[in-house]
Amino acid sequence: MKRTFTSSRSLVATFMMGMAVFGIATIGCGDSKPPANSGAANSGAANSGAANSGTVNGGAAGGGSTVTAPPAKFTLAWSEYPSWSIFGVADEVGLIDGKAGAMGSIEKKYNIDIELLLASYDQCITLYGNSQADAVCITNIDILGAAGSRNSVAIMPTSTSAGADACITAGIKSIDELAGKPTRGLEKSVSQYCFERCLEKLGKNPADFPFSQMDPEQAAQAFQGKDDKIPSIMVWNPFVMQSVRSRNDAHVLFSSELIPEEIIDMVVVGKDSLGKKGGSDFAKVVVETFYAMNQRMNDEKTRAATLIGIGARFAKLELEDMKTVVTQTRFYSDPKDAVRLFTEEKFQKETMPLVSKFCVKYGLTQAPVELSFGTGKGVMDFDTTFVKEYLEQPKK
Amino acid sequence: MIRREIPKWLFLALAIGGVVALLVSYELLSERQTKINPKQTTIPSFAKLNEGLQKIFQPQGTEENPKPPMFWNDMRATLWRLLVGLGVGVSASIVVGVLMGAYRWIEAPLSPVVMFLSKIPPTAMMPIYFAVAGTDQRMFTSMVALGIFFSMAQSIYQAVRDNVSDESINKAYTLGASETEVIYEVIWKQILPNVIDCVRMQIGPAMIFLIAAEMVVSDAGLGYQIRMQSRVLNMNIVFVYLVILGIIGLIAEFGLVWLRRWLCPWFEEGAR
């Protein structure tokens, strides 16, 4: 009797454990892609049903489309940042559908299925560097480290930091007062690069200004909590904005305004992925989506709604804050401007070599990364082909 | 049949086989990944791991600002934090645990508090530690110490209650022992092996709290280095550091078992 009792009890326990595992798996799946889910729900409304049809049959169900082959699948890893959250909003308005197996209007045009992977910035770098994503939203500094493990092509710049990275101090009114006092921020990152470059621009020796490691979010929190051991932080937005506001004695000592167009946010595709079937179409979809969203942002009628959309995907900022954010993070809204940046001498001969030097100095790369600009020869190539193709497209 | 003995040589051979299987499957995985992307650093080959091993012993920093090799720097930082944290946490929990087990009027107010607080994961309390204890040694110490304090105090208190019989306490009283003598000679000596085992069990959690905190606020330490190196995709260094963490754990484990056998030869696991 006792035996039967025990075994039935263990059966029940096993069953319950199985249910628990199943439950966790389901919750995990639901949680990992909130934008994709909400996007699917909204895209139907935005496109009056067009986006919802043909999820499985690809172009065939699109009506009148001649494409019959199943769409090539690509993944784009993005983190919440003004010019990258645009992809999250594009998913919401139905230009692309971030879920695998579903396509938005631009995806359909090229018969490409893009999956958006939302992760933290550091995770995005790891995803991309370890070939778990075809493309990534990344800065021109961090990409050099990742290019060491994967040959890369930057297909377009999305924005540049013009005040979005800043050194914020409390009780320190001048640069000379900062000497010898620790500044907290993320090492080997845009923050440290910006810190050193600004000091150089101001005629100081960066070696006199200690910079020590702390996660930007934690540094901002500690600063906002008036931790007197943290008189100075070097962080990026939204932490810049929050920190300046949080205390009356907070003061922006210097910011990336001093180094215009040195910190570039971009979309980078792995050379291997670009070479895959449909790779260049994937790049075209990304480029077209970005500029289509920029048009919405610059159009008076849709500007507020687009900014609110981006804000919802960037630290839950409201419209007024977003208006400030886009002045500190200047978008490359005009494709001509993007081509100008990647092809001009300053970027090729000054900015990138400086960045490369920084990466070697702090061990992001062992040796200078071999750079090329549109020739495709380097380990890291800055290619304007796709933006130019977009420019040459006949406009509606 | 369950628990049937196997020959000693077979056991040893299978043990070695397990380790070899781990290494071989790792190498195969690495080769497969290299075939997909020759520049991959995700699963570095043994040659790459060796490079990583060399690199952690090379001097770091820039010419104008040289720094010691990362290995020594990180080990010193992490081990110091761990030892100070463990030291404070263990001594505090011994005092509280023994007193709770010895005196009902201490047990009554403390046991619900200790029991409740021991259930909150210390990693979840990290933001509070940052806010209250700052970001330097004090934060790491309090985090490790408090992280292990509640559950250790709880187990020591239970060890005193369950493992020290009333008879032995009464015997000591009959022989004329004072209260402090009872606590030291009877209670303390009897629970010492439990305390050592407790420390052994708590080193794992202590490392978790420490590494998690180091990943967020620290400019040296194993956790810091693992985060920074994985950020720049130097997985060969990350893997070497993981192996080092494993070795630290093994040394602590065997060291404490040996200490227990040496200090309390009368105590055997089976005899509990």
Whose CA is closest to A286, among A146, A86, A39?
A86
Closest to A218 (Cβ–Cβ): which among B41, B62, B216? B216
Whose CA is closest to A134, among A148, A152, A111, A118?
A152
Report the pLDDT averaged over residues A265-293: 92
- What is the Cα–Cα distance from B226 to A55, expressed in whole angstroms? 41
Domains of chain A, CATH where assigned: 34-159+263-392 (3.40.190.10), 165-258 (3.40.190.10)
Report the pLDDT averaged over residues A356-377: 87
Q: What is the pTM of this model?
A: 0.77
From the candidates A121, A123, A126, A200, which should be mutated to test the interface with B, based on the most B CB atoms within 10 A?
Answer: A126
Each residue's pLDDT tens digit, A331-349: 999 999 999 999 999 999 9
What's the 3-state SS for A372-385? ECCCCCCCEEECCH
Whose CA is closest to B134, among A389, A73, A258, A182?
A182
Instruction: Rank A41-45, A227-231, A274-278 by mean pLDDT and report only the highest.
Output: A274-278
Quote the percentage of chain B above a pLDDT of 90. Answer: 47
ipTM over 0.85: no
Kindly indicate the confidence band of residue B230, based on its pLDDT and cuts at 50, 70 and 90: confident
> What does the mean pLDDT of chain A come to?
82
Q: Residue A131's pLDDT is what?
A: 86
Q: Which DSSP state fits B186?
A: I
Domains of chain B, CATH where assigned: 70-271 (1.10.3720.10)
Residue A103 has pLDDT above 60, yes or no: yes
Lowest mean pLDDT among A9-18, A203-212, B142-151, B160-169: A9-18
Closest to B232 (Cβ–Cβ): which among A145, A213, A225? A145
Report the pLDDT averaged over residues A60-74: 64
- Its sign, for the CA torsion B5, B6, B9, B12, is negative
Whose CA is closest to A91, among A59, A50, A46, A124?
A46
Residue A322 has pLDDT above 80, yes or no: yes
| Cis-peptide into A238, omega within 30 deg | yes
For residue B134, the chain A residues in CB contact (below 8 A) are 222, 227, 229
Residue A5 has pLDDT above 50, yes or no: no
Tell if the CB–CB gap between A122 and B231 is shorter than 8 Å.
Answer: yes
Residue A8 has pLDDT above 70, yes or no: no
- The chain B residues in contact with chain A (CB within 8 A) are 36-37, 39-42, 60, 62, 64-65, 127, 130-131, 134-136, 215-219, 224, 227-228, 230-233, 235
Kindly indicate the confidence band of residue B55, based on its pLDDT and cuts at 50, 70 and 90: confident
User: Which residue type sits at B39?
Assistant: K
Query: For A269, left (φ over 0), alpha (ψ -120 to 50), or beta?
Result: beta
Kindly indicate the confidence band of residue B92, based on its pLDDT and cuts at 50, 70 and 90: very high
Report the pLDDT averaged over residues A212-219: 88
**Nearest chain B CA: its distance from A49 CA (Å):** 39
Q: Does A120 touch chain B (CB under 8 A)?
A: no
Whose CA is closest to A140, among A126, A120, A161?
A161
Each residue's pLDDT tens digit, A234-271: 999 889 988 888 888 888 999 999 998 999 999 999 99
Q: Residue A198's pLDDT is what?
A: 93
Residue B227 has pLDDT above 70, yes or no: yes
Q: Count other Cβ atoms within 10 Å, centred on residue B262.
A: 8
Q: Residue B220's pLDDT is what?
A: 85
For residue A218, the chain B residues in CB contact (below 8 A) are 130, 135, 216-217
Closest to B231 (Cβ–Cβ): which among A149, A150, A188? A188
**Residue A55, both tokens:** 């999820």
- What is the Cα–Cα distance from B97 to A202, expressed in whole angstroms? 59
**Nearest chain A CA: its distance from B201 CA (Å):** 26
User: Which residue type sits at A125?
Assistant: I
Residue A140 has pLDDT above 90, yes or no: yes
Kindly indicate the confidence band of residue A55, based on its pLDDT and cuts at 50, 70 and 90: very low
Each residue's pLDDT tens digit, B215-224: 888 888 899 9
Q: Residue A68's pLDDT is what?
A: 63
CB A267 within 8 A of CB A351: no
User: Which residue type sits at A393?
Assistant: Q
Kindly indicate the confidence band of residue A160, based on its pLDDT and cuts at 50, 70 and 90: very high
